Chain A
Amino acid sequence: MSLESDLYAILGVSPLATQEEIKRAHRALARRFHPDSGTDEASAERFREIEEAYRVLGDPLRRRAYDKRRTERGPDDQPLLTWSIVASRDRLPALDEEQTLYVLAEIRPVAGITIQRLPLNLCLVIDCSTSMDGERLNYVKAVAHQIIDDLEERDALSLVAFNDRAEVLMPSQKMEDRGRAHARVTSIWAGGGTEILQGLTAGLEQVRRLHHAEVISHLILLTDGRTYGDEEQCIAEARRAGLERIGISAVGIGEDWNDAFLDNMVHQADGVAVYVAHPQQIRNVLLEQVRRLGTIFAQQLRLNLRLSDRVRLESVFRATPHFERLPFRQESVSLGMLQSGIPLQVLLELVVAPLTPGRHRLAQFELLAEVPAVQRQERLIADLASHVVAGPVPDTAAAPIINVLSRLSIFRMQEQVWNALERGEPEKAQQRLEQIATRLLDVGETELAHMALLEAGRVARSGVVSEKGHKTLKYGTRSLGFKR
């Protein structure tokens, strides 16, 4: 079915939103776009659309019927996505205590399907605070010039520079006049502080101008500093952008930016945050981000779980293209986007309560995804069942699960270091860092292992880690997900 007329998109809410959330979204939009609202956004057509969407979604019965139609497929439509689901054990021992069961889901485009690359609608939001002056800004400008040259004519680009306030260097436009874009990049200069909300709202405004269902709209924020006091608003803006299918990614340069905040912000809008230690790396990292946008196969991936009452969900991790702990709410997890060349691996950690011998259905998985190139919503369903047996069950698990878990365990130990430091337990943090170093050496990550040992020593002496060490280990162990 067409996404352009997607009622959820019109109201800017998730297909899993509660009735209350739908009601609230409707009220806010109706007020904003009402023809008599007196604002410059007033639009009779948009208002009619909003009212029509609410007439259906606001009524639970009509909504259910609409949901059914929304995910239905014609008999001729080939599925575009496929997945495999493997559990760490296919037989479970009957125990009188809880046990852990891992499930690895691997999602990929159906073999042989190629889709054309959609036009990009890209916005670069560049931090021009004083600290960016010199080498950092020069590298950013150089790569901006290259992006302008690399984009195709059907792609659109806008440029926003910000410090305490934002300036639209170049409004959103197709790449027909590259000369103008180059001139705008050259005019960037540095000065002032860092207020990310300013740049973010100005950038999103530009992206929205040319945003529609058949482009990939994405905002890339480049920053080297912390924003103060506007974090909450930035997250809210990002969430809104995410619901509108506008992605947000970030490149953090140097040690002074707030990684927890940027990670959270980009997660709201299906993007990634990347750490750049040296200005020389800006070029490759940014070009890779833009290249990645050209390979988007599906977006708005969401995994819904229906668990048996004997099973609960303990944690969810994404394993590719990098490790990430995924927050879940009411057994529903947002997985972001799927690239053409890279299968998306998701690892679930389930806890199974004692079961009697026999066959048990443990869970049902539902995957929802949008394939923007063909304007289709995809839906996959799979069941997980297990034989519970009285005797002992061998400890061996499927090799792909062990492979993912062995590297994920390093990433999870790293999480514990920061938690221990936050709770004021430096001894524990130091011990963890030493164990991480050992494990990193085992898997051949000598440089990261060295960094972990350095930071362990620093914690022993002063009780804290350096920002550089923190970011190197966090973003370094995270990308262990993509090795091998």
Chain B
Amino acid sequence: MIECPSCGKKHRPGTLFCSECGVYLPSGGALRTSPLATNELPKSRAATWEGMPQEEHEAETHPLLLKIMDTGREVHIPSSPEVLIGRLDAAHGIFPDVDLTAEGGLAMGVSRRQAKIVQRGGELFVEDVGSANGTFLNGQRLTPYLPYPLSKGDIIQAGRLRVQVFWE
């Protein structure tokens, strides 16, 4: 049996929501991202910001392939103008497109809302959306809420987890 981290009610393994208090059971109870020690994160200067093109001309968005480097899992995302990376928290209505819960996202310092990949005018950008431990692009820390241009094969680091981005 598994135990609800919030109210202690016992459930059959595989149960996803506590019938007593409605908590999402795989979340493990702790919902807050704990801060990582500074030596666990890349030491670097802030990435330079080049800005995002303002003109909004219609262009095709690319399907993405994200490789989670620590486990080798590949996530295919059908073309979408915005892709959220984070940890799923159903109770708070956070359903990221790339859910890092299975990679031990909580322990690795991934926020529920960590970063998003934006496609605009045929180009790709990554933006930290106010994560607890910061998002890094090829080892450089991103200023939150600023979109940085992405190139194929770039490595985005969320907490301690590293994700490599590819597209057609």
Contacts and interface: CB of A to CB of B under 8 A. Distances in A.
Interface of A: 88-89, 92-93, 95, 97-102, 351-352, 394-397, 399, 401-403, 405-406, 408-410, 412-413, 416, 435-436, 438-439, 442-444
Main secondary structure of the interface of B (DSSP, over half): loop
Given A394-B102, A396-B88, A406-B24, A442 B12 contact: no
Contact of A413 (B22, B91, B92): B22
B53 interface: no
Q: Which of A98, A406, A408 has the most CB of B within 10 A?
A: A406
Nearest to B99: A396
A412 B14 CA distance: 18
Given A395-B101, A403-B95, A435-B21, A100 B1 contact: no
Contacts of A405: 16-17, 90
A352 B13 CA distance: 10
B26 A395 contact: yes
B86 to A, nearest CB: 13
Contacts of B62: none
Interface string B46-89: 00000000000000000000000000000000000000000010
A97 B12 contact: yes
Interface string B5-37: 000000111111111111011100000000000
Contacts of A396: 26, 88, 99, 101-102
B163 to A, nearest CB: 16
A439 B99 contact: no
B92 A351 contact: no
A410 B22 CA distance: 7
Nearest to A93: B13
A442 to B, nearest CB: 5
A101 B12 CA distance: 10
Contacts of B19: 409, 412-413, 416
A100 B11 contact: yes
Given A88-B16, A99-B12, A399 B95 contact: yes
Given A88-B14, A402-B90, A406-B91, A97 B22 contact: no
Given A402-B90, A403-B95, A435-B22, A97 B101 contact: no
Interface residues of B, number: 25
6 contacts: A97-B1, A97-B12, A396-B101, A396-B102, A399-B99, A442-B91
The winner among B88, B90, B99, B102 for most chain A CB atoms within 10 A is B90
Contact of B93 (A401, A435, A436, A443): A443
Contacts of B20: 413, 435
Nearest to A410: B22
Nearest to B93: A443
A351 B1 CA distance: 13
A395 B12 contact: no
Contacts of A395: 25-26, 101-102
Interface string B107-135: 00000000000000000000000000000
Contacts of B14: 88-89, 92, 99-102, 352
Pick from B11, B14, B21, B102 the residue with the most CB of A within 10 Å: B14
Given A395-B26, A439-B91, A95 B13 contact: yes
Contact of B17 (A99, A351, A409, A444): A409
A272 B1 CA distance: 38
Nearest to B100: A396
A102 B12 contact: no
B156 to A, nearest CB: 20
Contacts of B13: 93, 95, 97, 99-100
Contacts of A409: 17-19, 22
Given A99-B12, A402-B16, A442 B93 contact: yes
- List 3 tightest A-B contacts by C-beta distance, closest first: A406-B90, A395-B26, A100-B14
B12 A100 contact: yes
Among A88, A99, A395, A413, find the residue whose CB has the most chain B CB atoms closer than 10 A.
Answer: A395
Contact of B88 (A95, A402, A410, A443): A402
- The winner among A97, A352, A409, A438 for most chain B CB atoms within 10 A is A409
A415 B124 CA distance: 47
A92 B13 CA distance: 10
B7 to A, nearest CB: 8
A59 B91 CA distance: 54
A98 B10 CA distance: 13
A435 B6 CA distance: 11
Contacts of B11: 100
Most buried by A among B11, B12, B20, B93: B12
Given A99-B12, A405-B16, A442 B88 contact: no
B95 A402 contact: yes
Contact of B22 (A401, A402, A439): A439
Nearest to B16: A405
B67 to A, nearest CB: 17
Given A402-B90, A406-B90, A410-B22, 13 more contacts: A88-B14, A100-B11, A100-B13, A399-B95, A402-B16, A403-B95, A405-B16, A409-B19, A416-B19, A435-B20, A435-B22, A439-B91, A442-B93
Nearest to B15: A100
Nearest to A394: B102
Contacts of A95: 13
A414 to B, nearest CB: 10
